[in-house]
Amino acid sequence: MSALDIIERAGGGKRMADLKGRDLLTLHDYSPKDISAIIDLADKLKAELAERGSHMRRTLEGKSVVLYFEKQSLRTRVSFEIGVAQLGGQPVVIYSGNTHADRGEPRQDTARVLSRYAHGIVIRAYKHEDIVQTAEWADIPVINALCERAHPCQALADLMTIYEKRGRGKKTKVAYIGDANNIAASLMILLSKVGIDIALACPDGYKPEPALIAKVEGYAEAEGGSVEVVDRPVDAVKDADFVYTDVWVSMGMEEEERERREAFEGYCINNKLMKAAKSDALFMHDLPAHRGEEVSDNVIEGPRSIVFDQAENRLHAQKALLSLLIGD
């Protein structure tokens, strides 16, 4: 039984999406049908692992997946490495600093060499263009594991978590407070594609690009959702089911640390701000978090925080993705 058969069974025999051989560079390329295929399988894999402690079908048996990192990682690296192994595959972790990249080996050659050994490349890079170029030269699926513009794997795990907590098909609103960075961009794309309302509060200079807003407004309109960008956190969190934030200084932006701290003053998610959301609103963060900056210690450690559920779901969502893109 293939990963798709599992979904067919879960969906009562309805074939949902064929993602075999595809890249995941940004979620713009994925339809609402593709997205629900991934989340459906992630739910099934999570339940199966909890019940049996292992998977009945090891969809990556005999396959190798290269996990290529140009930046630091805890969650992405460990969840992909363990996820590939749980599906019967072999993960190969590479840090670019230990390759010939800094000595001038071109990305085109790296992509072609890896394509001769492995069945997929999961890559975290500084520049989105470098991930696109890797995909252009590789003959195997390439998955974006974070760049300056996107973090699609995080967004998939977040959507799975949102559905777990609130169910599917209900009117749901997510408020994102802070920097309109890679996390915010992927969330905007994914949530708008499944009709979830999203409101962002960002200071001037850190709001999403107008072109991205226009695109996600189009997705939201088609799916019955909405996208709103405001200045004040208190306006974004009104009626929100989820309040989400991320670091003010992303990897690679360390030189801007001082000006960013100043710009984001007043954007910390504390108990007072959580009270302005729905009374049962939940707190989300992709992690790592900086307590006392974008979130107060008592919110992230409080009963409404679901940050570790998000982190866990990275494992399940990515295994579903790998099964559908690379698996048998």
Q: Say which residue the tokens 């408020």 belong to.
A: 175
The letter for the amino acid at 299 is V
Q: Which is nearer to ligand CP, 6 or 177 (CB)?
A: 177
Distance CA 92, CA 121 (A): 10
Q: Which is nearer to ligand NVA, 36 or 182 (CB)?
A: 182
Residue 181, contacted partner among ligand CP, ligand NVA, none, CB below 5-8 A by kind: ligand NVA
| 183 is a site residue for ligand NVA (CB under 6 A) | yes
| 110 is a site residue for ligand CP (CB under 6 A) | no
Rounded least distance, CB 62 to ligand CP, Å: 27
Binding mask 132-161 for ligand NVA (x = CB under 6 A): --------------x---------------
Distance CA 75, CA 112 (A): 27
Buried residues in 88-108 as b, exposed as e (16+ CB within 10 A): bbebbbbebeeeebeeeeebe
**Span from 26-34, 36-44, 73-81, 201-209 in contact with ligand CP (CB under 6 A):** 73-81
Distance CA 160, CA 190 (A): 11
In angstroms, how far is CA 81 from the centroid of its own chain? Answer: 16
**Span from 93-101, 178-186, 205-213, 300-308 in contact with ligand NVA (CB under 6 A):** 178-186
Buried residues in 199-218 as b, exposed as e (16+ CB within 10 A): bbbbbeebbbeeebbebbbe
Given phi > 0 = left and psi -120 to 50 = alpha, else beta, which region is 149?
alpha
Distance CA 248, CA 221 (A): 30
Rounded least distance, CB 67 to ligand CP, Å: 11
Residue 74, contacted partner among ligand NVA, ligand CP, none, CB below 5-8 A by kind: ligand CP
Q: Which residues pair with 227 in a beta bridge?
A: 198
List Cα–Cα distances, 192 to 155, 216, 243, in angstroms.
Answer: 12, 6, 16
Q: Which is nearer to ligand CP, 26 or 76 (CB)?
A: 76
SS3 47: helix
Residue of 23, 286, 293, 294 interacting with ligand CP (CB under 6 A): 286
Residue of 130, 213, 287, 309 interacting with ligand CP (CB under 6 A): 287
Binding mask 239-278 for ligand NVA (x = CB under 6 A): -------xx--xx---------------------------
Give the count of residues interacting with ligand CP (CB under 6 A): 8
Residue 247, contacted partner among ligand CP, ligand NVA, none, CB below 5-8 A by kind: ligand NVA
Q: Which is nearer to ligand NVA, 197 or 286 (CB)?
A: 286
Distance CA 44, CA 11 (A): 11
- Short-list 88, 38, 20, CA closest to 58: 88
| 154 is a site residue for ligand CP (CB under 6 A) | yes
Which residue number has the CB closest to ligand CP? 76
The CB density around residue 283, as the number of other CB atoms within 10 Å, is 23
| Contact footprint for ligand NVA (CB under 6 A) | 146, 181-183, 246-247, 250-251, 286
| Contact footprint for ligand CP (CB under 6 A) | 73-76, 146, 154, 286-287
